[in-house]
Amino acid sequence: MTTTDAAYADSATSRQRSARLPRSARRNQLLGAAEEVFVAQGYHAAAMDDIAERAGVSKPVLYQHFPGKLELYLALLDKHCDALVTQVRLALDSTTDNKLRVAATIGAYFDYVEHESGAFRLVFESDLNNEAAVRERTQRVTQECAEAIRDVIATDTGLSDEESMLLAVGLTGIAHVTARYWLSSGGGQIPRDAAARIVSQLAWRGIGNFPRKDSV
Protein backbone atom coordinates (compact mmCIF):
# COMPACT_ATOMS: atom_id res chain seq x y z
CA MET A 1 0.00 0.00 0.00
CA THR A 2 1.37 3.40 -0.98
CA THR A 3 1.57 6.37 1.36
CA THR A 4 -1.32 7.95 -0.53
CA ASP A 5 -3.39 4.78 -0.20
CA ALA A 6 -2.65 4.59 3.51
CA ALA A 7 -3.66 8.22 3.99
CA TYR A 8 -6.88 7.62 2.09
CA ALA A 9 -7.67 4.53 4.18
CA ASP A 10 -7.00 6.46 7.39
CA SER A 11 -9.23 9.28 6.19
CA ALA A 12 -12.03 6.86 5.29
CA THR A 13 -11.73 5.17 8.68
CA SER A 14 -11.87 8.55 10.40
CA ARG A 15 -14.99 9.52 8.47
CA GLN A 16 -16.61 6.20 9.30
CA ARG A 17 -15.77 6.54 12.99
CA SER A 18 -17.08 10.08 13.20
CA ALA A 19 -20.19 9.62 11.05
CA ARG A 20 -22.99 11.53 12.68
CA LEU A 21 -26.01 9.62 13.92
CA PRO A 22 -29.15 10.85 15.68
CA ARG A 23 -28.50 10.93 19.41
CA SER A 24 -30.84 8.02 20.17
CA ALA A 25 -29.30 5.88 17.44
CA ARG A 26 -25.79 6.65 18.67
CA ARG A 27 -26.81 5.79 22.24
CA ASN A 28 -28.21 2.44 21.11
CA GLN A 29 -25.05 1.77 19.14
CA LEU A 30 -22.92 2.47 22.20
CA LEU A 31 -25.10 0.31 24.43
CA GLY A 32 -24.81 -2.54 21.96
CA ALA A 33 -21.02 -2.29 21.95
CA ALA A 34 -20.91 -2.01 25.73
CA GLU A 35 -23.13 -5.07 26.08
CA GLU A 36 -20.71 -7.17 24.04
CA VAL A 37 -17.72 -5.99 26.05
CA PHE A 38 -19.29 -6.25 29.51
CA VAL A 39 -20.76 -9.71 28.84
CA ALA A 40 -17.43 -10.98 27.54
CA GLN A 41 -15.14 -9.34 30.10
CA GLY A 42 -17.21 -8.39 33.12
CA TYR A 43 -17.34 -4.89 34.56
CA HIS A 44 -13.91 -4.73 36.15
CA ALA A 45 -11.92 -5.99 33.15
CA ALA A 46 -13.82 -3.92 30.60
CA ALA A 47 -12.35 -0.58 29.56
CA MET A 48 -14.00 2.42 27.96
CA ASP A 49 -11.29 2.22 25.27
CA ASP A 50 -12.52 -1.28 24.39
CA ILE A 51 -16.12 -0.11 24.18
CA ALA A 52 -15.30 2.91 22.04
CA GLU A 53 -13.25 0.74 19.70
CA ARG A 54 -16.03 -1.85 19.47
CA ALA A 55 -18.52 0.92 18.63
CA GLY A 56 -16.16 2.50 16.11
CA VAL A 57 -16.16 5.89 17.82
CA SER A 58 -13.66 8.01 19.69
CA LYS A 59 -13.65 8.03 23.47
CA PRO A 60 -14.85 11.66 23.58
CA VAL A 61 -17.95 10.59 21.63
CA LEU A 62 -18.57 7.82 24.15
CA TYR A 63 -18.20 10.27 27.04
CA GLN A 64 -20.66 12.67 25.40
CA HIS A 65 -23.37 10.06 26.03
CA PHE A 66 -22.15 8.42 29.24
CA PRO A 67 -20.01 10.30 31.77
CA GLY A 68 -18.30 7.14 33.00
CA LYS A 69 -18.12 3.35 32.88
CA LEU A 70 -20.50 2.92 35.81
CA GLU A 71 -23.17 5.11 34.21
CA LEU A 72 -22.87 3.11 31.00
CA TYR A 73 -23.15 -0.16 32.90
CA LEU A 74 -26.21 1.05 34.82
CA ALA A 75 -27.93 2.15 31.60
CA LEU A 76 -27.36 -1.31 30.21
CA LEU A 77 -28.66 -2.92 33.39
CA ASP A 78 -31.82 -0.81 33.26
CA LYS A 79 -32.41 -1.91 29.68
CA HIS A 80 -32.11 -5.62 30.43
CA CYS A 81 -33.94 -5.52 33.76
CA ASP A 82 -36.85 -3.78 32.03
CA ALA A 83 -36.76 -6.40 29.27
CA LEU A 84 -37.22 -9.28 31.72
CA VAL A 85 -40.03 -7.53 33.59
CA THR A 86 -41.79 -6.88 30.28
CA GLN A 87 -41.38 -10.52 29.18
CA VAL A 88 -42.85 -11.79 32.44
CA ARG A 89 -45.81 -9.39 32.28
CA LEU A 90 -46.52 -10.39 28.68
CA ALA A 91 -46.41 -14.05 29.68
CA LEU A 92 -48.89 -13.46 32.50
CA ASP A 93 -51.21 -11.52 30.18
CA SER A 94 -51.02 -14.08 27.38
CA THR A 95 -53.78 -16.31 28.77
CA THR A 96 -56.31 -16.64 31.58
CA ASP A 97 -55.55 -20.35 31.99
CA ASN A 98 -53.28 -20.47 35.02
CA LYS A 99 -51.52 -23.69 34.03
CA LEU A 100 -50.61 -22.06 30.73
CA ARG A 101 -49.64 -18.88 32.58
CA VAL A 102 -47.12 -20.82 34.63
CA ALA A 103 -45.70 -22.42 31.49
CA ALA A 104 -45.50 -19.06 29.71
CA THR A 105 -43.76 -17.42 32.67
CA ILE A 106 -41.21 -20.21 33.05
CA GLY A 107 -40.70 -20.00 29.29
CA ALA A 108 -40.02 -16.26 29.56
CA TYR A 109 -37.11 -16.92 31.90
CA PHE A 110 -35.70 -19.65 29.65
CA ASP A 111 -35.97 -17.32 26.65
CA TYR A 112 -34.23 -14.58 28.61
CA VAL A 113 -31.19 -16.63 29.62
CA GLU A 114 -31.00 -18.38 26.25
CA HIS A 115 -30.76 -15.15 24.26
CA GLU A 116 -27.60 -15.11 22.17
CA SER A 117 -26.43 -11.81 23.68
CA GLY A 118 -25.79 -13.43 27.07
CA ALA A 119 -26.99 -10.18 28.65
CA PHE A 120 -28.76 -12.08 31.45
CA ARG A 121 -25.30 -12.38 33.02
CA LEU A 122 -25.33 -8.64 33.70
CA VAL A 123 -28.56 -9.03 35.69
CA PHE A 124 -28.03 -12.36 37.46
CA GLU A 125 -24.25 -12.78 37.54
CA SER A 126 -22.86 -9.26 37.80
CA ASP A 127 -19.34 -8.88 39.16
CA LEU A 128 -20.34 -5.49 40.55
CA ASN A 129 -22.96 -6.43 43.15
CA ASN A 130 -20.95 -4.65 45.82
CA GLU A 131 -22.08 -1.41 44.14
CA ALA A 132 -25.34 -0.21 45.70
CA ALA A 133 -26.77 1.11 42.42
CA VAL A 134 -26.21 -2.27 40.74
CA ARG A 135 -27.64 -4.18 43.67
CA GLU A 136 -30.73 -1.97 43.65
CA ARG A 137 -31.39 -2.80 40.00
CA THR A 138 -30.82 -6.54 40.28
CA GLN A 139 -33.11 -6.65 43.31
CA ARG A 140 -35.69 -4.50 41.54
CA VAL A 141 -36.08 -6.90 38.63
CA THR A 142 -36.83 -9.80 40.99
CA GLN A 143 -39.19 -7.62 43.00
CA GLU A 144 -41.15 -6.36 40.00
CA CYS A 145 -41.46 -9.80 38.41
CA ALA A 146 -42.62 -11.25 41.71
CA GLU A 147 -45.13 -8.43 42.20
CA ALA A 148 -46.65 -9.10 38.79
CA ILE A 149 -47.04 -12.78 39.66
CA ARG A 150 -48.31 -11.91 43.14
CA ASP A 151 -51.15 -9.85 41.69
CA VAL A 152 -52.37 -12.81 39.63
CA ILE A 153 -52.15 -15.20 42.58
CA ALA A 154 -53.94 -12.83 44.95
CA THR A 155 -56.72 -12.14 42.44
CA ASP A 156 -57.31 -15.79 41.64
CA THR A 157 -56.89 -17.39 45.08
CA GLY A 158 -57.99 -14.69 47.50
CA LEU A 159 -54.79 -15.15 49.48
CA SER A 160 -53.36 -12.08 51.21
CA ASP A 161 -50.77 -9.96 49.43
CA GLU A 162 -48.13 -11.23 51.84
CA GLU A 163 -48.96 -14.89 51.21
CA SER A 164 -49.22 -14.31 47.47
CA MET A 165 -45.87 -12.52 47.42
CA LEU A 166 -44.19 -15.40 49.21
CA LEU A 167 -45.49 -17.82 46.59
CA ALA A 168 -44.53 -15.43 43.77
CA VAL A 169 -40.95 -15.11 45.02
CA GLY A 170 -40.77 -18.91 45.16
CA LEU A 171 -41.93 -19.16 41.55
CA THR A 172 -39.47 -16.55 40.30
CA GLY A 173 -36.70 -18.35 42.15
CA ILE A 174 -37.58 -21.67 40.53
CA ALA A 175 -37.77 -20.01 37.13
CA HIS A 176 -34.51 -18.11 37.04
CA VAL A 177 -32.35 -20.58 38.96
CA THR A 178 -33.41 -23.58 36.87
CA ALA A 179 -33.12 -21.64 33.61
CA ARG A 180 -29.57 -20.59 34.48
CA TYR A 181 -28.67 -24.09 35.61
CA TRP A 182 -30.03 -25.55 32.38
CA LEU A 183 -27.91 -23.15 30.33
CA SER A 184 -24.73 -23.61 32.38
CA SER A 185 -25.02 -27.40 32.31
CA GLY A 186 -24.84 -27.50 28.55
CA GLY A 187 -28.40 -26.68 27.50
CA GLY A 188 -28.50 -29.15 24.66
CA GLN A 189 -28.45 -32.18 26.97
CA ILE A 190 -32.13 -31.44 27.61
CA PRO A 191 -33.83 -29.55 24.77
CA ARG A 192 -35.04 -26.10 25.80
CA ASP A 193 -38.75 -26.87 25.41
CA ALA A 194 -38.44 -30.11 27.36
CA ALA A 195 -36.52 -28.40 30.17
CA ALA A 196 -39.04 -25.56 30.43
CA ARG A 197 -41.89 -28.07 30.42
CA ILE A 198 -40.36 -30.11 33.27
CA VAL A 199 -39.88 -26.99 35.39
CA SER A 200 -43.40 -25.78 34.55
CA GLN A 201 -44.83 -29.09 35.71
CA LEU A 202 -42.97 -28.78 38.99
CA ALA A 203 -44.18 -25.22 39.53
CA TRP A 204 -47.77 -25.99 38.52
CA ARG A 205 -48.03 -29.02 40.83
CA GLY A 206 -47.24 -26.66 43.66
CA ILE A 207 -49.17 -23.51 42.84
CA GLY A 208 -52.03 -25.47 41.28
CA ASN A 209 -52.92 -26.84 44.72
CA PHE A 210 -54.17 -23.42 45.75
CA PRO A 211 -57.78 -23.33 44.52
CA ARG A 212 -59.30 -20.36 42.72
CA LYS A 213 -61.46 -18.37 45.10
CA ASP A 214 -64.49 -18.70 42.80
CA SER A 215 -64.31 -22.49 43.11
CA VAL A 216 -64.10 -22.64 46.90
pLDDT digits (tens, 9 = 90+) for 132-189: 999 999 999 999 999 999 999 999 999 999 999 999 999 999 999 999 999 998 866 8
Terminal alpha carbon distance of the chain: 83
Judge whether residue 9 has pLDDT over 70.
no
pLDDT of residue 180: 94
Write the class of the CATH domain 22-67.
mainly alpha
- Distance between CA 195 and CA 115 in Å, rounded? 16
From the list 77, 75, 25, 81, the residue with the least C-alpha distance to 55 is: 25
Q: Cβ distance 26 to 65 under 8 Å? A: yes
- φ, ψ (nearest 5 deg) of residue 121: -65, -30
**21/74: higher pLDDT:** 74
pLDDT of residue 24: 83
- pLDDT tens profile 68-82: 999 999 999 999 999
- Distance between CA 155 and CA 116 in Å, rounded? 36
Q: Where are the domains of the chain?
A: 22-67, 73-207
- pLDDT tens profile 41-56: 999 999 999 999 999 9
Query: What pTM does this model have?
Result: 0.84
Task: Work out the pLDDT band at 20, boundaries 50, 70, 90.
Answer: confident
**209/189: higher pLDDT:** 209
Tell me if the domain spanning 73-207 has CATH number 1.10.357.10.
yes
Judge whether residue 216 has pLDDT over 70.
no
Judge whether residue 10 has pLDDT over 60.
no
pLDDT of residue 109: 97
Mean pLDDT of the chain: 89
